Amino acid sequence: MSIPLTDKLHEDFNFKKYNTYDVSKIKEEVFKLTDSDWSEDVSRQNSYRLLRDTESYFIFQSDSEWSYSTPFSSSLVCKNSKISELVEHIVQDLEKEHSGKRAKVLLTRLGPSKNIAKHQDSGHYLFAIRRHHIAILTDPSITFSVSKEKINMLEGECWEINNSKVHGVFNDGESTRVHLIIDIMPNKFINEVKHV
Q: Read off the CATH number of the domain in which 187 is found.
A: 2.60.120.590
- At 61 the pLDDT is 96
Helix (H) or strand (E) holding 3: none
- At 2 the pLDDT is 52
Q: Which residues of the chain have pLDDT under 50?
A: 1, 5, 193, 195-196
Phi, psi dihedral angles at 39 (to 5 degrees): -105, 5
Is residue 1 assigned to a domain? no
Helices in the chain by DSSP H: which ranges?
24-32, 35-38, 43-47, 81-98, 124-128
- At 4 the pLDDT is 54
What total number of domains does the chain contain?
1
- At 6 the pLDDT is 54
- At 94 the pLDDT is 98
Model confidence, pTM = 0.92
Is residue 135 assigned to a domain? yes
Is residue 3 assigned to a domain? no
- At 7 the pLDDT is 64
- At 196 the pLDDT is 45
